Amino acid sequence: MNDKIRDLEHIAPVEPIILGIESSCDDTSAAVIKNSTILSNVIAGQKVHEAYGGVVPELASRAHQQNIIPVVDMALKDADIKANEISAIAFTRGPGLMGSLLVGTSFAKGFALALNIPLIEVDHLQAHVLAHFIREKDDSERHFPSFPFLCLLVSGGNSQIIIVRDYSDMKIIGQTIDDAAGEAFDKCAKIMGLPYPGGPIVDKYAQKGNPYAFKFSKPCIAGLDYSFSGLKTSFLYYINKQQKANSNFIQENMDDLCASLQFTINDILASKLLKAIKQTGIKKVAVSGGVSANSGLRERLTAESVKHGFRTFFPKLSYSTDNAAMVAIAGYFKYMKGDFVGQDIVPYARVVAH
Ligand code: KG4
């Protein structure tokens, strides 16, 4: 950090304006937050991957390169903020796809250097957790989770149970040993011939189907860890077998297949979460990540919370999947602590322990 930026700490604004940048996978996003209240959140998805049934890393980084400037421009315009009013730039440092992360990281570094403002690195998974603290302009009535709470973080790349003691003090107590929950949704959707990402489409069909129509195998994993690869295999074998007898099996049973698959995934997620609540005695659960948008998971955990006496928190749907608002709020908490990084910062692809 140069001396000029260090001087800024002494005249730090009371209501900092943070620009957040997210580019860890296939969404290019920029958001502006003023004093923890959201002013804008622009997300550009990448349709190019649909034809491949999954994210193609090289295509993702090229699309980020094309999207990043218009997305940031739109986020500033939506927020009615000029570049010279930004107090600091927060960016996703990792984990994620290296080529994608490099686009956001390099952009953030260049922009912070040009504006001579602090740069803040944000861990993508911590940002998903902190999405629960994004304030809207008119939500004075809203309740935020108080510390400590458990976070069930379920996305396309991760499935974790985390004890959250503070904005920066988080401990993973359970995680997937193979596929993530979102991956299970997406891979099983692909087996049924559905486009990527399959999770939201399975959710849609599931709402019309019978969750008990088909039974798929559930893992027996010790402790609080998850596993989803066995479910994917059992789903594949079952479908293949049925297709041999009836080539229209998937089309004729799409609603029930989706409902049963969704029920099984959510059952696996809920049972370990209940175990974690029992073990820790913590009775507040925040759900984060793309899969937290799942209607069946929301219903199931709400029902479990009534039955077992715990409280659940779900983020707004637009803050469930990848977005820069969560990066900006995570950046805001670091800004308040003066936790900045220099221009020598580099992204990381894999999960790191904090
Ligand atoms: O958090 P996210 O946007 O990206 C990362 O993986 O970081 O999560 C994307 C994942 C995908 O696997 C997608 O299929 C899943 O979230 N997803 C859903 C739903 N919406 C998104 N899965 C089930 N039901 C949904 N409604």
Residue range 69-122, pLDDT digits in tens: 999 999 999 999 999 999 999 999 999 999 999 999 999 999 999 999 999 999
pLDDT of residue 328: 98
Using DSSP's 3-state secondary structure scheme, residue 347 falls into: coil
- Domain locations along the chain: 17-134+320-336, 149-314
Q: What is the pLDDT of residue 351?
A: 78
Q: Which two tokens stand for residue 224?
A: 């609080």
Distance 185 CA to ligand 1 centre (A): 8
Q: Which residues pair with 41 in a beta bridge?
A: 31
Nearest atom, ligand 1, residue 262 CA: 23
d(CA 147, ligand 1 centre) in Å: 26
> Residue 5: its pLDDT value, please?
52
Measure 295 CA to ligand 1 centroid, in angstroms: 12
The answer to whether residues 153 and 159 touch, using CB atoms and an 8 Å cutoff, is yes
Atom 21 in ligand 1: residue holding the nearest Cα: 290
What pLDDT was estimated at residue 244?
A: 96
pLDDT at 49: 87
Same fold, 17-134+320-336 and 149-314: yes
Rounded distance between C-alpha atoms, residue 15 and residue 113, angstroms: 21
Predicted local distance difference test score (pLDDT) of residue 350: 87
Which residues contact ligand 1 via a Cβ below 6 A?
25, 155-157, 182, 185-186, 197-200, 203, 289-291, 293-294, 321-322
Which ligand 1 atom sits nearest the alpha carbon of residue 295?
26
Most ligand 1 atoms within 8 A of CB, residue of 28, 185, 204 to mutate: 185
For ligand 1, the distance from its centroid to the CA atom of residue 82, given in whole angstroms, is 33
- Phi-psi domain of 219 (left: phi exceeds 0; alpha: psi -120 through 50; beta: other): beta
Task: Report yes or no: 274 and 246 within 8 Å, Cβ to Cβ.
Answer: no
Which residue's CA is minimally distant from atom 24 of ligand 1?
294
Q: Could you tell me what percentage of the chain is helix, strand and coil, using 3-state DSSP and rounding each to the nearest 5?
A: 50, 20, 35
- pLDDT, the chain, mean: 94
**Residue with the larger pLDDT of the pair 353 and 259:** 259
> What CATH number is given for 149-314 in this structure?
3.30.420.40
- What are the CA-CA distances from residue 204 to residues 83, 290, 334 (Å)? 40, 15, 38
At residue 125, the 3 state secondary structure works out as: helix
Percent of all residues in the chain with a pLDDT value above 70, rounded to a whole number:
96
Q: What number is the average pLDDT over the span 194-222? A: 95
Strands 28-34 and 284-288 turn out to be: unpaired
Q: Decide: residue 236, CB within 10 A, 0-12 exposed, 13-18 middle, 19+ buried.
A: middle
Q: Whose CA is nearest to atom 20 of ligand 1?
A: 200
Which residue's CA is the closest to the ligand 1 atom numbered 13?
Answer: 199
Q: Distance between CA 168 and CA 333 in Å, rounded? A: 9
- In degrees rounded to 5, what are phi and psi of residue 343? -70, -10
Nearest atom (ligand 1) to Cα of 181:
12
Query: H or E element: which one contains 104?
Result: helix 98-115
Query: Rounded to whole angstroms, how far apart are CA atoms 346 and 125?
Result: 17
Q: CA 132 to CA 320: how far, in whole Å? A: 9
Nearest atom (ligand 1) to Cα of 293: 26
> If you average pLDDT over residues 277-303, what whole number do you get?
97
pLDDT above 80 for 139: no
Nearest atom, ligand 1, residue 323 CA: 3
Q: What is the mean pLDDT of residues 328-346?
A: 97
Q: Which atom of ligand 1 is nearest to the CA of 180?
A: 12
The whole-number average pLDDT for the span 200-216 is 97
pLDDT band at 353 (very low <50, low <70, confident <90, very high): low
Q: What is the pLDDT of residue 70?
A: 98
DSSP SS3 for 93? strand
Quick one: what percent of the chain has pLDDT higher than 90?
87
Q: Whose Cα sits closest to atom 3 in ligand 1?
A: 321
Q: What is the pLDDT of residue 354?
A: 63
Residues 304/296, Cβ–Cβ less than 8 Å: no
Beta strands, E only, 289-348: 311-313
Residue found under tokens 């820790």: 280
Second-level CATH architecture of 17-134+320-336: 2-Layer Sandwich (3.30)
> How far apart are the CA of 337 and the centre of ligand 1, in A?
31
Centre of ligand 1 to C-alpha 345, Å, is: 28
Average the pLDDT over 186-215 and give the result.
96
